[in-house]
Amino acid sequence: MKNKLIKLLKKNKRLFFIAKMIRLLSTSSFRKIDGGKKKYPKVIQLPITYNCNSACVMCNIWQMDHSGEMSVEEFSTFMQDPIFKEVEIVGINGGEPSLVPDLPEYAQEILKLPSLKALNIISHGFSPKPLLKSVEKIYRSCKEKGVDFHIAISLDGVGEIHDTVRGKPKVFEKSTSTIDEIIKNQYKYCDSYDIGCTIVKQNIDYLIELDTYAKSKSYNIKYRLGIDNKRIESDRLRDQYSVIYSPLRQSAKEFFHLQMSQTMALNDKFKYFSIFYWLDHETPKRLLGCSWKDEGITLDARGEVYYCAVASESIGSLRKERGEKIFFDDKNIDYRKSIITDSCDGCIHDYSGQPEVKAVWAFLVNMILDRYAMKLYEIKVRFMS
Name the domain count of the chain. Answer: 2
**Residue at 7 is within a domain:** no
Q: Is 92 helix (H, G, I), strand (E, B) or coil?
A: strand
Main-chain dihedrals φ then ψ at residue 265, nearest 5 degrees: -70, 125
Residue 114 shares a structural domain with residue 239 = yes
The CATH number covering residue 261 comes to: 3.20.20.70
**Residue at 64 is within a domain:** yes
Nearest one of 60, 177, 190 to 126, comparing CA atoms: 177
Phi-psi region at 170: left, alpha or beta (left = phi > 0; alpha = psi -120 to 50): left
Weakest mean pLDDT among 5-14, 136-145, 241-250, 265-274: 5-14
Residue 281 shares a structural domain with residue 317 = yes
Nearest one of 33, 77, 19 to 320, comparing CA atoms: 77
Q: How far is residue 130's CA from residue 98's CA, in Å, rounded to a whole number?
A: 6
**Residue at 2 is within a domain:** no
Residue 233 shares a structural domain with residue 362 = no
Residue 150 shares a structural domain with residue 293 = yes
Residue type, position 217, single letter: K
The secondary structure of residue 307, as a DSSP letter, is S
Residue 244 shares a structural domain with residue 173 = yes
Residue 261 shares a structural domain with residue 293 = yes
Main-chain dihedrals φ then ψ at residue 193, nearest 5 degrees: -150, 160
Q: Which residue has the higher pLDDT, 382 or 277?
A: 277
Residue 252 shares a structural domain with residue 372 = no
**Residue at 124 is within a domain:** yes
Residue 338 shares a structural domain with residue 380 = no
**In the structure, what pLDDT confidence band is assigned to residue 29 with cuts at 50, 70 and 90?**
confident
**Residue at 13 is within a domain:** no
Q: Is it the case that residue 25 has pLDDT exceeding 80?
A: no
CA 112, distance to chain mean position in Å, is 24
Residue 375 shares a structural domain with residue 234 = no
**Residue at 172 is within a domain:** yes
**CA atoms within a 13 Å half-sphere pointing along the CA-CB vector of 282:** 0
Q: Is it the case that residue 196 has pLDDT exceeding 60?
A: yes
Q: Which residues contact 33 (CB under 8 A, 6 or more apart)?
A: 293, 294, 340, 354
Nearest one of 297, 236, 302 to 51, comparing CA atoms: 302
pLDDT averaged over the chain?
Answer: 90
Q: Which residue has the higher pLDDT, 353 or 252?
A: 252
- Determine how β-strand 304-306 pairs with β-strand 316-317: antiparallel
Is there a contact between 127 and 98 (Cβ–Cβ < 8 Å)?
A: yes
Write down the pLDDT at residue 380.
Answer: 63
Weakest mean pLDDT among 90-94, 149-153, 261-265, 293-297: 261-265
Write down the pLDDT at residue 381.
Answer: 64
**Residue at 6 is within a domain:** no
Domain that holds residue 361: 357-385
Please tell me the pTM assigned to this model: 0.89
Residues forming a β-bridge with 121? 92, 151
Q: Is it the case that residue 6 has pLDDT exceeding 60?
A: no
User: pLDDT (tens digit, 9 = 90+) per residue, 57-87?
Assistant: 999 999 999 999 999 999 999 999 999 999 9
Q: Is it the case that residue 385 has pLDDT exceeding 90?
A: no
Q: Is it the case that residue 226 has pLDDT exceeding 70?
A: yes
Q: Which residues contact 30 (CB under 8 A, 6 or more apart)?
A: 356, 357
